Amino acid sequence: MILTVTLNTALDLTYRVRSLRPHASHRVSEVVERPGGKGVNVARVLAALGREVTVTGFAGGGTGRAIRDRLAGIPRLTDALVPVAGASRRTIAVVDELSGDTTQLNEPGPPIAPAEWGAFLDHYEELLPSASAVALCGSLPPGVPVGAYANLVRAARSAGVPVLLDTSGEPLRRGVAARPDLIKPNADELAELTGSHDPLRATQDARRRGAHAVVASFGADGLLAVTPAGRWRATPPALVRGNPTGAGDSAVAGLLSGLIENLPWPDRLARAVALSAATVRAPAAGEFDPAVYEELRGTVAVTGVVSAA
């Protein structure tokens, strides 16, 4: 099974309005609720692709119960979340139907007590021996040490389990130093990590900081990968408009599934880009449109790139 870690799980709410205007009342045409947080989104996509996946992290309060209730109905997905006293957060995506743009509001998450963090570490160590790969995803809730992901990366490496890290800021900087197998920053996260806004130079620098491979996402411009096997750029065939919430998580699911299948890097990247684009086109956050995925998976352009000096 694949193990995904979401320390800051969420109940994702998607509201659709005809046109989002500041200082105005809006009539919501549709409301969709889904269990969320980056690792949960990754797990749902993996399960939809036919993979056995286990979700762990924290869940608490009424929101946590709602998250777990909705996870219970997903085939091939096992709930191994750790209960906490605080209430899990909500995220709200407001989709403007006229423009196609999405506005995102993210709550911070519940405070995690030292004993709750210790219970999670014990639980994580118990799950690792059964995992074929681990994805460590998303923000840290209050109370979790800033070096948490670095510790989780080291534990996975000690267990011989490939580990992907998808986070930002100081948790990413410390996590990279623990030498994960793969990181997947977006353009802003990559620039913050390296201090460079040149995509290839920054991606190469991120790898020199400790990651075995780096796949950076640049929105509509696709993915840039720097790996021991080579450097590639993967782009969708055309601009895809819609709700981008969860698109990066779908790319992570594509990369993870390609890793455990031992696919060549170009095939992994093509799958990740097609899944990401299919997620943008889906009506609800954190899901992908299977028809769009099948349509795009053979049309993603993957080309080798020349290394920066």
Amino acid at 188: D
Whose CA is closest to 265, among 225, 216, 235, 236?
225
Residue from 12, 166, 181, 249 carrying the catalytic annotation: 249
CA separation for the pair 140, 171 (Å, rounded): 8
3-class secondary structure, 142: coil
Whether 36 contacts 106, CB under 8 Å? no
Whose CA is closest to 77, among 59, 51, 109?
51
Neighbours of 202 (CB within 10 A): 24
CA separation for the pair 248, 28 (Å, rounded): 26
Residues in the chain: 309
Query: Which pair of tokens denotes residue 173?
Result: 């900087």
Residue 249 known to be catalytic: yes
Whether 239 contacts 220, CB under 8 Å? yes
Residues whose CB is less than 8 angstroms from the CB of residue 229 and which lie 6 or more positions away in sequence, other chains included = 264, 265
Catalytic positions are 249
